[in-house]
Chains A and B, each alone.
Chain A
Amino acid sequence: MTDTTVAPPAPAPAEAPPGNQALAKAALLLLRGRTLVVLVVLVAFFSAISPEYLTQSNLILMTKHVAINAILAIGVTFVILTGGIDLSVGSIAGLASMVSGGLLFTGLALPGGTVFFSVAVVILIGIVVGALVGAVNGLLVTRFKVAPFIATLGMLYVARGVAQLRSDGGTFPDLAGTPERGNQGFHVIGVDSLLGIPVAVWIMAAVAAAAIVVTTRTPFGRRVYAVGGNERAAVLSGIRVNRVKIAVYVISGACAALAGLLLTSELGAAYPDTATTYELNAIAAAVLGGTALAGGRGTIIGTVMGAFVIGFLSDGLVLVGVSTFWQSVVKGAVIVFAVITEQAQQRLQSGLAKRTA
């Protein structure tokens, strides 16, 4: 076995102009870290215009806004890495909001009387509901071979509709709970702070850390990338592709539910149209962070950065008094620009790889 023909030593790269190569490498580094570069530029730009921007209180407020979108986007990133898409996360967030809000406000009506659960259990139920909806998405995509775009577009409507049915379109206005029911404290996750930093931001950090470990340090993470990179090769490597796909939709659903609960806690009330269109911001954050919609390429850290760029950009534009219409224009342009630079990076990368091959 070990006696294979010995490969001749690779020829020295003939007279490579070192300047060009170094320049290309520097450009590549800049492109790889472009989300960070954009973020720094944004912060510098807005703090030059408005002294308010770079204050501690504003930074904390903006980061709190970022947290919800980042959690949604992290979940969606898992799905996109496998080559799928999840359009239903906004609706799942809304559904989780109404399920948990209803449990806190009206309780669960059982034959023996109305039951109230503690906040921790309510949050858990909300997340499980999100995960189950995600599992349905996953089954539609795998067992029934529905294109992810269609399956989750359908779920976008269904989940939103169910959220509205939960209260007949109404609102659960008071989620504070009472001592007798033993369900106080829902405000902790969306309103309170720990060590001067909002709890929601801590939760985002925890979710991001867990997602980074899963994507980079576990066999499951490797399989997620493999399924998105080349599904047929993944099948032949013995990877249970359907399981991986169902799992990423479950992760996405659970993340969406968590984000919906944070938002509900922050608002102090559960509205059936909570987080409407948030799926678009989440997908935008993933794409901005370098996740390829074709699958197989992208990082959690990139997605979190993408969420920061979107959040800091939107809030900055509000702070300096740009109209909402222009905000929309700027956001859209930034997203498209991000994809253009992503492609430039891919070209440069493969160019460099060929030269060093």
Chain B
Amino acid sequence: MTSDEVLVARGVSKSYGGVRALKDVTFTAYRGKVNVLVGENGAGKSTLMKILSGSEQPTAGEILLDGEPVKLASPRDAMARGIGIIHQELSLFPNLSIAENIFAGRELRRARRFVDGGEQRRRTREVLRRLGQDLDPDTLVGDLPIGQQQLVEIGRALLEDVRVLIMDEPTSALSSHEVDVLFDVMGDLRAQDVTVIYISHKLDEFRRIGDWVTVFRDGGLVAHESMSRTDTGWIVRQMVGRDPDTLYTRNTSPTGDVLLDVRNLTVPGPTRALVDDVSLTVRAGEVVGVYGLMGAGRTELVECLMGLRRASTGEVRVRGTLEPKATVRARLKAGLALVPEDRQRDGLVQTMSVRDNILLATIGRLTKAGLLRGGAEQRTAAAKVAELAIKMPGLAATVTALSGGNQQKVVLARALLTEPVVLLLDEPTRGIDVGAKGQIATLMAELAAAGFGVLFISSELAEVIAMADRVLVMARGRVTAEFTAANVTEEALVTASASEGVMA
């Protein structure tokens, strides 16, 4: 054992009931390095992180910290030993200010009893500056866009004196500028000899920052390698056990009529227009990508198209027909369907079964004399499950028992049942694993081939370039550039997404 090995999990296994989530894993995190963990959802990464951060206990094996066996009984216990974790799901209080969030549970005291608000604000401002965010510490966290909320979460961990910082997909909601800031911070931490354990799905990102990469598959550790000795293809092969070229399927179908025609759409906002004079078209058989930074107005655009937000000006035509009525029902009827960005918040009814979730939007069609036809419900849902290859314990299982990718397919199945002509997909691959991403990409290409128009939002350069026939770039509510698959490059997308005005 060398002194470079800060945190070691030796022969660790973890079983939940009868299922082994982690099988005899030996994992090493090196001092002052960024140790990247990759693997599909359910591969065991998160379970290992829960064990290393003290929120779960291993069924077998031991944890060594600086070569000494330790027992991490609770997250607080792990924190006391300098192991901090930033979870993928935000654990912030939206009703409290940034400063109050950062010091939640460890408020600075004055005269022992009273919260020292001034000092908390001052130190919060310091942390925010370190993260490149010039924010008022008194801003309510609920008022921040999700990317900045994530940075607050990171700021919270930075305040502690961490030796090992575990980050579980911290960039899933960040714009590329925010990711740059985060990577700078990680670079600083590394220079200060802090060990970072970094879980990510984004291949193009973690290759920039990682020193070591460890790949998990099916509860086991399948590869552990110095980043410099790997390439993207190797990593993906280790993760999915097959070749990465098959990952994204490009749409090759010929384009047909204009299905969606949006002209001069503007959605007013508190300070500036959220969507500013946007015009676009989507044709049958076409996959159109919308790239942009967080807060560029992409989500607001599709929400407005779907009738969830009011436009102040502009026209929406579907199949050539003007659709003046901007309600969700009217737009569904016109032939639009939205798969939202935040599945848990906007997509799924968590208390309902897989079947009921799939049928939710079209339940009114499955009746006879006003009563639901159980057989038809079962058949309709089962057919969509088979069509989209949804993996699940059963149609009657609660939808929360499914993996992220399969939950996404449930929301997609519901949208498809409304018989749309144009599908609006907001970050369809966010938070799902590589294998499932590939499946979603394939599905999109198949939908286009079947004559649908597909408009999808993505923050991942590689994805949007690989999947879209045409890419629109949005910045500050405007469409600043448009590229075809032939002339799109990563540099051009990044430049356009940061641009203030419309580029020629």
Binding site for B on A (CB under 8 A): 1-7, 10-11, 13-17, 20-21, 213, 217-219, 222-223, 225-226, 228-230, 232-240, 292, 296-297, 349-351, 353-357
Contacts and interface: CB of A to CB of B under 8 A. Distances in A.
B356 interface: yes
Interface in B106-122: none
A356 B447 contact: no
5 contacts: A3-B446, A16-B17, A229-B349, A229-B352, A355-B17
Contact of A226 (B17, B352, B418): B352
Contacts of A17: 17-18
Contacts of A230: 345-346, 348-351
A5 B438 contact: yes
A222 B361 contact: no
Given A219-B364, A233-B346, A4 B389 contact: yes
Nearest to B402: A357
- 9 closest A-B pairs by beta carbon, nearest first, are A16-B18, A296-B351, A229-B349, A237-B361, A229-B351, A355-B17, A353-B401, A357-B401, A230-B349
Contacts of A233: 346-349, 360
A254 B348 CA distance: 32
Nearest to B393: A356
Contacts of B371: 213, 217-218
A218 B369 CA distance: 10
Given A236-B306, A237-B414, A4 B439 contact: yes
Main SS class of interface, B: mixed
Given A1-B446, A218-B367, A354 B438 contact: no
Contact of B372 (A222, A229, A235): A222
Given A7-B391, A296-B351, A356-B401, A235 B328 contact: yes
A12 B388 CA distance: 22
Interface string B13-26: 00011111000000
B244 to A, nearest CB: 15
A77 B389 CA distance: 37
A228 to B, nearest CB: 7
A219 B363 contact: yes
B18 A15 contact: yes
B329 interface: yes
Contacts of B20: 14
B213 to A, nearest CB: 25
B397 interface: yes
Among A4, A11, A218, A236, chain B packs the most CB atoms within 10 A around the CB of: A236
Nearest to A227: B349
B398 A353 contact: yes
B360 A354 contact: no
B443 interface: yes
A236 B328 contact: yes
A21 B18 contact: yes
Contacts of B350: 229-230, 296
Contacts of A234: 349, 360
Contact of A225 (B349, B391, B398, B400): B349
B308 interface: yes
Contacts of A225: 349, 351-352, 356
Given A4-B446, A238-B361, A218 B352 contact: no
A26 to B, nearest CB: 15
Interface string B331-375: 010000010100001111111100010011101101100111000
A218 B372 contact: yes
A48 to B, nearest CB: 39
B23 to A, nearest CB: 9
Contacts of A15: 18
A353 B360 contact: no
A10 B360 contact: no
B17 A232 contact: no
Contact of A4 (B218, B359, B367, B387): B387
A14 B20 CA distance: 7
B245 to A, nearest CB: 14
Contact of B19 (A13, A240, A292): A13
A1 B397 CA distance: 25
A21 B347 CA distance: 31
Given A4-B439, A5-B389, A237-B414, 11 more contacts: A10-B391, A16-B17, A233-B348, A233-B349, A236-B328, A237-B328, A297-B351, A350-B401, A353-B397, A353-B398, A354-B16
B322 interface: no
